Amino acid sequence: MPEKAAKRQPGSRPSIRDVARKAGVSPGCVSNVINGRRKLDDPIGRAVLEAVNELGYRRNTMASNLRRSQSRIIGLVIPNFENPFFAELVAKLEQRAETTNYRIVATSSREDPETEAREIDELVGWRVAGVFVIPSLSSRALNLVSASETPFVFLDRIPQNAAIDGVGVNNAEACALLMRHLFEAGHSRILVAYLGDGIANVAERLDGVRNAVAEHEQPVTVDYLPTGDSIEGARAALDAYFDHNPKPDAVFCLFNTATLAAYGLLQQRGFVLGKDMALAGFDDSAWMAHVHPPVAAIVQPIEEIAKVAWERLLARIEGDTSAPETIRINCRLEARESLASVETQAG
């Protein structure tokens, strides 16, 4: 019989028409079956399902999304994947996505504003439902984003006076909390390692430290050491500091690479954490909890950040037009043994 044979290329996947032909129904009908718009316990439903299995049919998501003009994809632009904080944020957001039948597409900007701009553009091209952005250093994202009608939410590094939703932690308060903790424990000579100027986050942390120092009654000595963002750089800066200054009671690192650098340096110089010297860092890492003695950390509640941010973006996607807001979440202090009191030191 000269039936018109399937004309699709041997290399390409079967389409809904192939399924329809095989099941002896129309493409629209197949679509209805697949999308559950009809009960499938009748002969037609079964025939369609069988054809689907036999041909190994998989719906073409591009075509589907195009037609319904919606995408259920959420973009996520982060500075890099290697930072455990970002990595965990990706993971938590992905978990949220799954429960809401969305999908996260994560890309990294490698801290490069150019790359970041390209990524955002690309995501908009995909007509994603919304985008989370952790801005790179000296990011231009804010400009791009304000023009767009795609919902955006900034995470972690929230630009100042942005007319865009932002979700992050209360950096200043967390740092003030830790400083007060150090003061109460009797530390009066404290070294604060910070990244450098220009990052909103670290600036906020520094502010928190300064405020706590200003509010403190007793006289204390606090030195501020900019370290750059590489571990090696931080190590060198700390080394130079210790060579030329009296030994502090405590070291507080405002970002995670500095904490590792400081830890290694203090070990090498023979200080015993929690006895000779206190150490604390912003951001927790696996190694900090498991070395001995464990290193105290200001822990960002990543799961909650993800939760709140997700709710915010979803609300926007669903049409919420209220004024943009910046949500700050409080950190938790994980006071581990590296935070010894001066009394303990003396004893």
Partner DNA sequence: TTTATGTTGTAAATCGTTTTTCGGGAGGAG
Partner DNA sequence: CTCCTCCCGAAAAACGATTTACAACATAAA
CB of 44 to a copy of itself, least distance (A): 24
Q: Pick what 4 binds: DNA, a copy of itself, none; C-beta below 5 to 8 Å, kind-dependent.
A: none
Residues 7-36 that bind DNA (CB under 7 A): 8, 12, 15-17, 24-29, 31-32, 34-35
CB of 162 to a copy of itself, least distance (A): 20
Nearer to DNA, 319 or 347 (CB): 319
CB 158 within 8 A of CB 309: no
- What is d(CA 82, CA 103) in angstroms, rounded to the nearest whole number? 21
Q: Pick what 113 binds: DNA, a copy of itself, none; C-beta below 5 to 8 Å, kind-dependent.
A: none
**Nearest C-alpha neighbor of 131 from the set 145, 117, 112:** 145
The residue assigned the tokens 């679509």 is 31
> Applying CB under 7 A, does 250 fall inside the site for DNA?
no
**Nearest C-alpha neighbor of 229 from the set 220, 237, 221, 219:** 237
Angle, to 10 degrees, between the axis of helix 84-99 and the axis of helix 302-317? 50
Specify the 3-state DSSP secondary structure of 131: strand
DSSP string, 310-341: HHHHHHHHTT--SPP-EEEE--EEE--TT---
CB of 173 to a copy of itself, least distance (A): 27
- What is d(CA 233, CA 237) in angstroms, rounded to the nearest whole number? 6
Which positions lie near a copy of itself, rule CB under 8 A? 11-13, 56, 58-63, 65-66, 69, 71, 80-82, 84, 87-88, 90-91, 94-95, 98, 103-108, 110, 115, 121-122, 124-127, 147-149, 231, 235, 257, 260-261, 263-265, 267-268, 285-287, 290-292, 294
CB of 33 to DNA, least distance (A): 8
Helix (H) or strand (E) holding 75, with range, is: strand 73-78
CB of 63 to a copy of itself, least distance (A): 5
Where are the strands (E) in 152-299, listed by range? 152-155, 165-169, 189-194, 221-226, 250-253, 278-282, 296-299
Residues 45-64 that bind DNA (CB under 7 A): 57-60, 63-64
Pick one of 4, 67, 244, 292: the residue that binds DNA (CB under 7 A). 67
Site residues (vs DNA, CB under 7 A): 8, 12, 15-17, 24-29, 31-32, 34-35, 38, 42, 44, 57-60, 63-64, 66-69
